[in-house]
Amino acid sequence: MSKIAWIYPGQGSQAVGMGVDLKETKTATALFEQAEKILGWSVLEKCQGDEEQLSQTLYTQPCLFVIESILTDILVEKGHLPDLVAGHSLGEYSALYAARVFDFETGLKLVKKRAELMDQAAGGKMAAVMKFDREKLESLIINTPDLVIANDNSSEQVVISGTPEAVDTVLPQITAKRVVALKVSGAFHSPLMQDAAEQFQQILDSVSFNDAKVPVLSNVDPTPTTNAQTLKTRLIQQMTGSVRWREIMLQLPNEEITQVIEVGPGKVLTGLVKRTCPDIDLKNVGTLADISQ
């Protein structure tokens, strides 16, 4: 029997024009209107506007959550349901929405606050490292204060995060095919986000979570659970904890997943799954036309 996982991309997958084709549907119209009341600005306008502005954390994260939520609801309306969900960083909020852990309004309010806190973060630096010596990198990180692997995306790709001094000290010592400094001001998914995480926890503590309708693989703990309190605890830890995406992908065959559908713009996550789990069938749903196929 085939089992399907829906996975949701995070910041970095945004693109000008995303979601515009959805606006003709009743589902999208309702959620776009609701989002504008919550955010105080139009997601559609941002998605059709300036690329630089859309790439600002403050706008990127809510826009992605709204587009991914709309795609999720349209899939459900057409009779599609997942057996398991997961999301990369911001995408975990979309995954929790898909699992009906919270409703659209609750999810977007959480994402709005998260985006604001992360947008205000300063004093950090992040860099992506491709095709590297993992043993050497892990050794360097152990011996360098204020530096962590923020995103363990695959066996060949990670993102390191920490103080500018720590990142700049380690980068020249890394043996890698490619290193790219990311355009962010904060050290996301590191202990340096502790102040923001504490502020965010106060918001999360006031929100009720439901048990998930399907198991969720969380960023900080890639073991499946449907328990509401466990999922909330993991979400609190996510802001300072590493995104363990490589382990999430390796868990998919253990859960007997035969197909993965990336719900949202781009094909970053399916690209990673293809190289990590070559036997899993892959599909991307980023537009209305993709759902109809």
pLDDT of residue 175: 86
Q: Are strands 4-8 and 84-87 parallel, antiparallel or unpaired?
A: parallel
pLDDT of residue 173: 93
Residues annotated as catalytic are 89, 189
**Residues 229 and 277 placed together within one structural domain of the fold:** yes
Structural domain boundaries, residue 106: 4-121+190-292
**Residues 241 and 97 placed together within one structural domain of the fold:** yes
pLDDT in tens, 64-97: 999 999 999 999 999 999 999 999 999 999 999 9
CATH number at residue 148: 3.30.70.250
Q: Are strands 84-87 and 216-217 parallel, antiparallel or unpaired?
A: parallel
pLDDT of residue 122: 85
Q: Please, what are the averages of pLDDT over each run of 10 residues along the chain (293 residues)?
A: 94 94 94 98 96 94 98 96 98 98 98 95 92 93 96 96 96 92 89 94 95 98 98 96 98 97 97 96 96 78
**Residues 137 and 169 placed together within one structural domain of the fold:** yes
pLDDT of residue 293: 66
pLDDT of residue 1: 72
CATH number at residue 243: 3.40.366.10
pLDDT in tens, 15-53: 999 999 999 899 999 999 999 999 999 999 999 999 999
52: number of Cβ within 10 Å: 9
**Residues 111 and 147 placed together within one structural domain of the fold:** no
| Overall domain count for the chain | 2
Last residue in a domain, options 158, 181, 204: 181
Length of the chain: 293
**Residues 99 and 142 placed together within one structural domain of the fold:** no
**Residues 37 and 113 placed together within one structural domain of the fold:** yes
The separation between CA 164 and the C-alpha centre of its own chain, rounded to angstroms, equals 23
Element (H, E) at 82: none
Q: 130 in helix, strand or coil?
A: strand
